[in-house]
């Protein structure tokens, strides 16, 4: 229902809400508190160490304000609590003074020291609590006071009486959930902690059921979709594999076989190729691209960044050099003329393989007969991509490459609509990367080893600390690190720098200098974390490694050890972290991701930015995995029996997926 139905909502408020993606009353009610503050009157006892206490009190003296230094002030007054007079201090609340007349009833939260009779408050509420109070805390919406927000939510709750049925009746009954209205009421105006839990549980079930319905429906669509039965020249494909400089691993062979099978049959390929960094996914995709070409179709290869697109362009072109395929790259920074030329040749069918970033889907490009798309490192969710392709009137075979070593069980659920090929085995002769956690104070050891490797003709990657908000720019962290290395090596070792603010051609030059060995050390930020393939690099040094998740560190480490040279990874940290030891112990991405999962939950697994479809307000895939499985079952039933036809809410969602298909 439209927000305008809320009585007395102002134009300005409306605008701010719209800006915050709150368009309807339902959206507003879904703007849940992100936490609850629980206040409960406690006894006035010495708060040893770090325990804070909450006490009701009455002001008995006009507060005095002292300005200690810039941005630092204190407010002091005497108050009465439980019949006792205490001295209260609170910092940086000078602005509260006018609200604290004598006789004002307040609540103090902080620490009490009985010897000095001093209460140091870290928070002060302008009301007195008598019994337990649960206060919902919302994320701030700039321009709307939290009081206003609450009253809007109150009115929204009054306005809305019917709610869409997000859960099957049976699930609701089985878990004895609160009704939807009660659920929302408890979340926004909680009565007890138990009730909040019950309300949250309902929302978690709803989120996961909705998510799984989408996946199950997509799966059903995929299973029904007619692809093209392509004619594959088996002999030529075999010959191609035979002329490679290495022999394939069993897993690679199997993945290629599965992919080729998809091309052959009328079922459209929708396949996830899951394999650790360096496991050799590119050759699998390239072989299928070649087979697709032999069958008479064009291919596209989509990379997540321009640097990666260039990288793939280089390596795929090399792999395919003995074929007569026409291969081109298209990236945003090319001139208009170059782009037009490529567009023309693409439409004429003169280009057999186009490599670029995801953006090429959005460009005004038309393939003559696109038969196969490879997407590198797209975490989830195919819907947008499908939409774009459908609008272009094509739905080719699709393969997704992912090195995000999600634990297999989760992969099956999250990528539940796709077929999966798994590469577990590493190429023959590949050595484990020797990894060591090193305190920054002991950096010398690393610098010596680095020098040794450079003298042996090898190269080194250095990852600069990850930038936290309010810290310096990435340019600065990278330059500081370069100074450090220059100082250590008396400026005698050529060092390149890469950072986010650089222009594309600057980046190209730096990358190229490193590739050709002109520079020996490459210092960069994680912006360029993935993809560069320099098999001569044998050392990876990662600063502030404690700031990264294990899965990310493993990915970064995968930049070295790509050839047969023994490689090393140094995880530099300020404070030693137990979890980093996992990387010393193991080179197995799946094992590491299971560990990461137990340490940190799913947040990190899917990268910092989760794609829209994967973000839940309350559900957490790790914690709620059992619920996810339960909802997968329910969702399958729901989709199989077409129960969505009888549910307006889901009918709309399904229609939208249908429309985009
Ligand atoms: P990723 O799975 O990370 O995309 P790549 O496909 O880039 O891995 O392969 C990493 C490196 O291993 C490349 O240099 C590639 O040529 C090489 N490689 C791939 N398969 C094999 C193999 N079976 N034997 C030896 N080297 C291989
Ligand atoms: Mg790759």
What are the start and end residues of each CATH 2.40.50.140 domain in the chain? 41-131
The ligand 1 site (C-beta within 6 Å) comprises: 246, 248-249, 252, 275, 277-283, 403, 427-428, 533, 535, 562
Give CA–CA dist 478/524, Å, rounded: 6
Q: Which residue has its alpha carbon closest to ligand 1 atom 26?
A: 427
Question: What's the pLDDT score for residue 612?
Answer: 40
> 176-199 b/e with 16+ CB inside 10 Å = b?
ebbebeebbbbbbebeeeebbebb
Q: Which residue has its alpha carbon closest to ligand 1 atom 19?
A: 280
Q: Which atom of ligand 1 is nearest to the CA of 281?
A: 2
- Which run of H or of E encompasses 154? helix 146-159
To the question of domain 224-423 being in CATH 3.40.50.300, the answer is yes
Q: Which residue has its alpha carbon closest to ligand 1 atom 22?
A: 427
Q: Which fold has domain 434-586?
A: Rossmann fold (3.40.50)
> 604-620 b/e with 16+ CB inside 10 Å = b?
bbbbeeeeeebebebbe
Q: Which residue has its alpha carbon closest to ligand 1 atom 10?
A: 278
Question: What's the pLDDT score for residue 505?
Answer: 81
Q: Taking Cα atoms as reference points, which of 661, 654, 656 lies closest to residue 217?
A: 654
* Contact partners, residue 339, CB within 8 Å, separation at least 6: 330, 363
Q: Taking Cα atoms as reference points, which of 135, 138, 133 lies closest to residue 33?
A: 138
Phi, psi angles (nearest 5°) of residue 464? -75, 160
Question: What's the pLDDT score for residue 608?
Answer: 32
Token pair recorded at residue 306 = 């321009």
The alpha-helical segments, DSSP class H, found in 295-382 are: 306-319, 336-348
Q: Which ligand is nearest to the CA of 282?
A: 1
DSSP state of 248: P
Q: Which atom of ligand 1 is nearest to the CA of 282?
A: 6
**At CA 93, angle to CA 90 and CA 95, rounded to 5?**
145
Q: Which residue has its alpha carbon closest to ligand 1 atom 14?
A: 562
Beta bridge partners of 537: 459
Ligand 1: which of 283, 304, 321 to mutate, most ligand atoms within 8 Å of CB?
Answer: 283
Question: What's the pLDDT score for residue 609?
Answer: 32
Ligand 1: which of 272, 276, 278 to mutate, most ligand atoms within 8 Å of CB?
Answer: 278
Give CA–CA dist 570/407, Å, rounded: 25
Distance 376 CA to ligand 2 centre (A): 7
The alpha-helical segments, DSSP class H, found in 243-335 are: 250-264, 281-294, 306-319
Q: Which residue has its alpha carbon closest to ligand 1 atom 15?
A: 280
Phi, psi angles (nearest 5°) of residue 167? -125, 145
Q: Which residue has its alpha carbon closest to ligand 1 atom 20?
A: 280
Q: Which atom of ligand 1 is nearest to the CA of 429?
A: 25
Cα maximum dimension of the chain: 94
Give CA–CA dist 189/191, Å, rounded: 7
What are the start and end residues of each CATH 3.40.50.300 domain in the chain? 224-423, 434-586
Q: Which residue has its alpha carbon closest to ligand 1 atom 23?
A: 248
Q: Taking Cα atoms as reference points, which of 152, 191, 183 lies closest to residue 166?
A: 183
DSSP state of 187: H
Q: Which ligand is nearest to the CA of 309?
A: 2
Question: What's the pLDDT score for residue 8?
Answer: 78
pTM: 0.67
Burial class (CB in 10 A: 0-12, 13-18, 19+), 137: exposed
Using DSSP's 3-state secondary structure scheme, residue 286 falls into helix
Distance 458 CA to ligand 2 centre (A): 22
Q: How far is CA 171 from the centre of its chain?
A: 30
Residues of the chain with pLDDT under 70: 49-50, 363, 378-394, 405-409, 412, 466-472, 474, 526-532, 597-615, 659-661
Token pair recorded at residue 130 = 């008598």
In the chain, % helix, strand, coil (3-state, to 5) comes to 45, 20, 35
CATH of domain 41-131: 2.40.50.140
Question: What's the pLDDT score for residue 243?
Answer: 94
């Amino acid at each position: 229902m439209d927000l305008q139905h809320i009585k007395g909502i102002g134009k300005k408020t409306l605008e701010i809400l719209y800006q915050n993606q709150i368009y309807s009353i339902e959206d507003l009610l879904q703007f849940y508190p992100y936490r609850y503050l629980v206040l409960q009157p406690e006894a006035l006892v010495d708060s040893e160490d770090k325990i804070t206490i909450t006490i009701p009190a009455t002001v008995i003296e006009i507060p005095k304000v002292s300005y200690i230094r810039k941005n630092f002030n204190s407010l002091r007054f005497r108050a009465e609590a439980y019949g006792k007079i205490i001295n209260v201090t609170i910092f940086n609340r000078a602005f509260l003074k006018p609200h604290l007349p004598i006789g004002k009833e307040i609540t103090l939260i902080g620490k009490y020291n009985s010897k000095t009779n001093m209460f140091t408050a870290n928070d002060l509420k302008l009301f007195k609590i008598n019994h337990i109070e649960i206060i919902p805390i919302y994320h701030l919406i700039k321009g709307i006071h939290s009081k206003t927000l609450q009253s809007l939510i109150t009115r929204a709750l009054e306005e809305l009486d019917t709610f869409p049925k997000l859960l099957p009746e049976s699930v609701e009954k089985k878990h004895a959930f609160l009704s939807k209205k009660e659920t929302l009421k408890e979340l926004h105006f909680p009565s007890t902690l138990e009730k909040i839990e019950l309300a949250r549980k309902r929302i978690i079930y709803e989120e996961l059921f909705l998510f799984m319905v989408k996946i199950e429906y997509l799966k059903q669509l995929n299973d029904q979709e007619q692809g093209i039965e392509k004619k594959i020249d088996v002999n030529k494909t075999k010959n191609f594999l035979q002329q490679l400089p290495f022999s394939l691993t069993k897993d690679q062979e199997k993945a290629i076989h599965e992919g080729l099978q998809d091309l052959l049959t009328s079922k459209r390929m929708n396949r996830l190729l899951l394999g650790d960094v360096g496991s050799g996914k590119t050759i699998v995709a390239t072989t299928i691209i070649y087979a697709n070409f032999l069958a008479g179709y064009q291919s596209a290869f989509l990379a997540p960044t321009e640097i990666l697109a260039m990288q793939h362009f280089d390596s795929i072109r090399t792999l395919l050099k003995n074929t007569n395929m026409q291969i081109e790259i298209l990236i945003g920074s090319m001139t208009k003329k170059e782009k037009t030329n490529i567009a023309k040749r693409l439409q004429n069918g003169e280009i057999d393989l186009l490599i670029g970033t995801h953006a090429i889907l959005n460009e005004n490009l038309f393939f003559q007969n696109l038969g196969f798309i490879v997407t590198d490192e797209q975490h989830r969710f195919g819907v947008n991509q499908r939409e774009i392709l459908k609008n272009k009137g094509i739905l080719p075979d699709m393969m997704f490459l992912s090195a995000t070593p999600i634990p297999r069980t989760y992969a099956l659920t999250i990528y539940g609509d796709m077929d999966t090929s798994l590469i577990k085995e590493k190429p023959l002769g590949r050595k484990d990367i020797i990894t060591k956690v090193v305190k920054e104070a002991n950096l010398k050891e690393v610098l010596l080893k680095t020098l040794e490797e450079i003298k042996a003709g090898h190269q080194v990657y250095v990852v600069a600390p990850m930038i936290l908000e309010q810290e310096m720019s990435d340019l600065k962290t990278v330059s500081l690190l370069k100074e450090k290395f220059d100082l250590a090596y008396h400026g005698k070792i050529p060092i390149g720098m890469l950072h986010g603010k650089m222009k594309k051609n600057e980046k190209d030059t730096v990358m190229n200098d490193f590739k050709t060995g002109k520079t020996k050390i490459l210092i960069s930020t994680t912006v360029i974390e993935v993809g560069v393939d320099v098999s001569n690099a044998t050392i990876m040094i990662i600063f502030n490694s404690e700031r990264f998740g294990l899965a990310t560190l493993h990915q970064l480490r995968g930049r070295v050890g790509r050839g047969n040279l023994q490689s090393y990874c140094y995880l530099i940290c300020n404070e030693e972290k137990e979890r980093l030891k996992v990387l010393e112990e193991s080179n197995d991405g799946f094992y590491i991701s299971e560990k990461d999962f137990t340490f940190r939950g799913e947040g990190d697994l899917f990268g910092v930015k989760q794609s829209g479809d994967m973000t839940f307000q309350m559900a957490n895939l790790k914690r709620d995995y059992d619920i996810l499985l339960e909802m997968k079952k329910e969702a399958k039933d729901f989709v199989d029996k077409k129960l969505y036809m009888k549910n307006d809410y889901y009918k709309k969602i399904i229609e939208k997926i249908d429309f985009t298909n």
